[in-house]
Structure 1
Amino acid sequence: MTSHIFYFLSHRRRQSLPMKRKRKSSRENLRPGKLFRNPLKRKKIRTSFKSSQQFVQAETCLYLPDDCWEIVFRFLIINGYNSCLKSLSLVSKHFLSVTNCLLFSLTILDQTRPFLDRLFKRFTYLNSLDISEYDSDLDMLLCDISCFPLNITSLNICDNRTFPSNGLQAFSQKITTLTSLNASNIYSMDDQHAAHFSLFLTNLVSINLSECSYLTELSLFSLVKNCPSLSEIKMEDTDIGKENVENNDSMMDIGIYPQLKSLYLGDNLWLSVQKIIMFASSIPSLQLLDLNDCDLSDGIWQFVRRFDMITHLNLASCTDVNKFKMNFVLPKLQVLDLADTGVDDETVYAISKSCPGLLELLLKYCYYVTEKGVKHVVENCKQLRKIEFSDFYVHDTIRELAMDALFASVLKFL
């Protein structure tokens, strides 16, 4: 009974409470904006959709393939300095992948040794390695590097105490693309080392063995004999020309090697004209010969006529260059460096008569050359494009004479 009374009272109470008015949904109570869609607003929506579509299309048009980005980034690399690539690689993952393809050389230090695996996987286009500043075991390092699928063409191992013969052999067996080797300033290297590595580095095109004080001409001929593609050898400041019984016995049959085009023999105290004449008979196609700072007082011009193909000759700081007496012509000689040789007008005149095809004549610190000598050069060398003097002593008359004969943009005063 009580429950019925409670239900009755609660039901009456709900009926006595004011009812909330329901919103009518009739057409007359709707706002005009709800009743009719605003055509302007609809047009605005369509326009917004169209603009976003255009934005997507614009983004697609702005996308450049990797090849184009590589061309753009190459313009930022000045004289081989690619430090700008570090900041570019932080911009996006896309730029990171592009810059990874633009790094071709890597310097390995003791600190970078533990990260070789990551580095070689990241920079897959590497073709040059510099390990000259690595202070630990070079043989072990080269053996480890040989395990990676690399296409290295240039290797720098200079400035080391010992020559890594075993490591270099392991390196060459796995990486057969090596064409350039810098092994300069390695104190312990001798002719036996050079003869040994020339047997397995047969694809070499260029090698630098300067400042290896125990090397003689035996190393030179071992290289040209075993490396058929070798076209450039640098052996400055070595023991080339030093006489001993072993060298004399080994020079009996040296052969002819036409592949060698450039030979740098500067600052070799033991070098003589007789040795150079011997080289000329074995290297008939030589085009560049650098003999700077050599003492060739016993007839410096005797060997020149034997190099028929020579185009570049460097005799800077050589002695007795003034004794120029020859009755032959070097029509292919284009660049002649006589800096600090003490040549005078008479010598310059004789040279201009024998070398009519000169393009560049370098006369720095040649204080005895006057306007008379310059006039002879200008008159006899019709193709001359550059005369190099030292500006602090050049007389105004010489300057004016040379300027009248040559274009101001190609005359260089240092």
Structure 2
Amino acid sequence: MVETRILPDDCWESVITFLTGGDSNHPYLKSLSVVSKQFLSITNNLPLSLTVYNQTRPFLPRLFIRFTNLTSLNLTCFGGDLDGLLCVISCFRLNHLTSLNLSNQPFIPTNGLQVFARKFTTLNSLTCSNIDSLCNNDLVCISGCFPFLEELDLSNPKEIIDITDVGVKAMSTALPKLRKVNLSGHYYINDSLLFHLCQSCEFLEEFVMLDHSSRWSPSLTNDGIASAIRVRPSLRSLSIKWPSKGRHDISSHLIDSLMCLKGLTCLDFRSSRISDMLLSSIAMEAIPLRKLVLQNCFGYSYAGISCFLSKCQHIQHLDLQNAVFLTNQHVLDLSLFLGDLEFINLSQCGQLTNLALFALVSNCASLSEIKMELTKIGMESVENSNSFKDFVVSPQLKSLHLAKNSCIRDESIKMFPSMFPNLQLLDLSYCRNISEDSICDVLRRCCKIRHLNLSNCLVVNLFGMNFEVPKLEVVNLSRTIVNDETLYVISKSCCGLLELLLEECFHVTEKGVKHVLENCTKLREINLRACNKVNVNAVASMLFLRPSLRKIIAPSGLDLSKTERIFLHRGDYAC
């Protein structure tokens, strides 16, 4: 008799985790869960996060019973009574819950949070970014509810109402375990409050305070920042827009304070005035930086960044957007120092051509994502009129962002499959001199592409895509000439499509949309804003055709009956 051996659950869990790449929302999990009771049990243990939509609320009891290992709740997509929802969630046993995200809401649900906090006392991460209105009471409430918080994100509130020293000091004092805090957009922060925060939170490792508006606090100075970070030498990540009143260089006091941060791995100076002296000082101190963001910075030159990178050769994330002084030769020279580089942003560096891209993929063996938007990629170089002739294959590159490169042509794009065989994301939006012939060639040969952005590519319609692209999940064709025939082709070729963006596609009608809804069985989101030929009142029927839909952005003028609104409650829609 042959002995039958059954693999234990932990072995199957390892196999499934490997196959799905550790993605707890991977579409394969649904199929695996119906194979057997054993697989159902295993897959129930894998999801660690749950996003709650309006239509999710009636099913929460079943979901919480099924997924017992949840550690994170995302309520950013819920548009109802948030206080009530938090009270309902508090009735369930979620023993592993440590993270809550309440971003993009009109206000902080203080009543619900107080009930929630009595049940989940060990919450250590709270995200409340992009809140419409934030006030003093919100800070006091959060501080009182979750004394064990280690991560707090209150970034970019749309309106700040009467926040005083009381709220910030209460937060600083009541959250002694805080390790990461994001106060971007909090323009009222002054030297005193920043010092109090750094002094009170002895475990603080990451501080973010970025702001792109004109509301930067006039009471926050270079010397104030210097004094604050000097009392917190444990900082490992600092993201802050340096105040540059009077356009003076960063003070020596601030540079000396930065030199005290011996464990610093991330510096984000975006939109700040910096200097070559600052960069060279950091380099000479041998600070173990892995991430440097100088996006839209000014006041420094090639000499400063070259000195820095020659000494700090373990950088993994480098953002030099709008470093207009960079040339192809500069990038070639710098690439020799970037053996560990995984991400680079050289967008708006207007002197760079194919040669810079070629230098990066040739010399940076770990590079997985490149952003070179608004450059001169595609322009023939004087040094080498055929710069891609002897290309180097870059199997590790997964994401390539080349938006707004007006010089790029089909000849360059057709080289991508040979250069980047494992490409998963390709952004060619606003590249208006490319044709569908080159795009179809890329899709046919790069079989791993999941995300394709062709928005504002005026002459592209993908009508010639008469082959299967099973892994393509997100397609942006906004403001192109696609029509119903194109959508029929897409619906037949892209069986795994999850998101389709068709904003301002004036040739599309409900007939073409129907093709997509009928054939793309996994579709979760469709954007039809300003698609004037789509019957706006046919939106409700879309959910009948495709039950997987979770978000519909409808053409303007949507007029739903009461019955249709009730039906659409299980999905999100926007006019």
Question: Under a length normalisation based on structure 1, what TM-score does the superposition of the two structures give?
Answer: 0.74
Is residue 70–residue 98 contact of structure 1 (8 Å, CA) maintained in 2?
no
Q: String of CA shifts for 1:172-225, please: whole Å, max 9, x gaps.
A: 344343211111222221110110000012211111111112111111010011
Q: String of CA shifts for 1:121-151, please: whole Å, max 9, x gaps.
A: 369555123165225xx33221112233523
Q: Percent identity?
A: 38
**Matched residue of 2:521: which SS?**
coil
In structure 1, the residue matched to 2:493 is 354
Pick aligned residue for 1:296 from 430, 434, 437: 434
In structure 1, the residue matched to 2:479 is 340
Distance 1:81-1:326 versus aligned 2 partners, 3 A rule: same
Is residue 259–residue 282 contact of structure 2 (8 Å, CA) maintained in 1?
no
Q: Distance in 2 between matches of 1:131 and 1:370?
A: 43
**Matched residue of 1:248: which SS?**
coil
Q: Which moved more, 1:196-205 or 1:115-124?
A: 115-124
In structure 1, the residue matched to 2:134 is none
Distance 1:298-1:387 versus aligned 2 partners, 3 A rule: closer
1:410 aligns with 2:410: no
In structure 2, the residue matched to 1:72 is 149
Q: Distance in 2 between matches of 1:134 and 1:282?
A: 37
Is residue 397–residue 422 contact of structure 2 (8 Å, CA) maintained in 1?
yes
Pick aligned residue for 1:95 from 201, 208, 224: 201
Q: Distance in 2 between matches of 1:257 and 1:105?
A: 31
In structure 2, the residue matched to 1:278 is 415
**Matched residue of 1:134: which SS?**
coil
**Matched residue of 2:538: which SS?**
helix
1:81 aligns with 2:190: no
* CA drift at 1:241: 1.1
Amino acid at match of 1:172: L
Q: Which runs of 5+ in 2 are unaligned?
A: 1-121, 126-145, 157-181, 206-231, 554-573
Distance 1:382-1:201 versus aligned 2 partners, 3 A rule: same
Q: Distance in 1 between matches of 2:197 and 2:493?
A: 60
* CA drift at 1:384: 0.7
In structure 1, the residue matched to 2:517 is 378
Q: Distance in 2 between matches of 1:265 and 1:92?
A: 40
Q: String of CA shifts for 1:237-295, please: whole Å, max 9, x gaps.
A: 11111124533354331121101110011111111112111122111111100000112
Amino acid at match of 1:410: K
Q: Distance in 2 between matches of 1:309 and 1:143?
A: 41
**Matched residue of 2:352: which SS?**
coil
Is residue 296–residue 321 contact of structure 2 (8 Å, CA) maintained in 1?
yes
Q: Distance in 1 between matches of 2:153 and 2:434?
A: 46
Q: String of CA shifts for 1:310-347, please: whole Å, max 9, x gaps.
A: 11000001122235113311001000000111311111
1:395 aligns with 2:535: yes
Q: Distance in 1 between matches of 2:377 and 2:299?
A: 21
Q: Distance in 1 between matches of 2:367 and 2:476?
A: 25
* CA drift at 1:88: 8.1
Question: Under a length normalisation based on structure 2, what TM-score does the superposition of the two structures give?
Answer: 0.55
Distance 1:91-1:373 versus aligned 2 partners, 3 A rule: closer
1:153 aligns with 2:293: no
* CA drift at 1:391: 6.1
**Matched residue of 1:72: which SS?**
coil
Task: Judging by fraction of residues, say which structure has more helix.
Answer: 1
Amino acid at match of 1:297: S
Is residue 162–residue 187 contact of structure 1 (8 Å, CA) maintained in 2?
no
Q: Distance in 2 between matches of 1:379 and 1:223?
A: 43
Superposition CA RMSD, Å:
3.2
1:268 aligns with 2:405: yes
1:117 aligns with 2:223: no
Pick aligned residue for 2:328 from 171, 188, 191: 191
* CA drift at 1:119: 4.2
Q: Distance in 2 between matches of 1:298 and 1:344?
A: 14
* CA drift at 1:157: 2.8
Is residue 241–residue 270 contact of structure 2 (8 Å, CA) maintained in 1?
yes
Distance 1:113-1:156 versus aligned 2 partners, 3 A rule: farther
Amino acid at match of 1:327: N
Q: Distance in 2 between matches of 1:88 and 1:133?
A: 18
Q: Which moved more, 1:317-326 or 1:157-166?
A: 157-166
Aligned pairs for 1:8-47 (under 5 A) are: none
In structure 2, the residue matched to 1:330 is 469
Distance 1:169-1:255 versus aligned 2 partners, 3 A rule: same
Q: String of CA shifts for 1:8-56, please: whole Å, max 9, x gaps.
A: xxxxxxxxxxxxxxxxxxxxxxxxxxxxxxxxxxxxxxxxxxxxxxxxx
In structure 2, the residue matched to 1:15 is none
Q: Which runs of 5+ in 1 are unaligned?
A: 1-63
In structure 2, the residue matched to 1:255 is 392
Distance 1:301-1:219 versus aligned 2 partners, 3 A rule: same
Larger Rg: 1
* CA drift at 1:411: 2.9
Count residues in correspondence: 348
**Matched residue of 1:301: which SS?**
helix
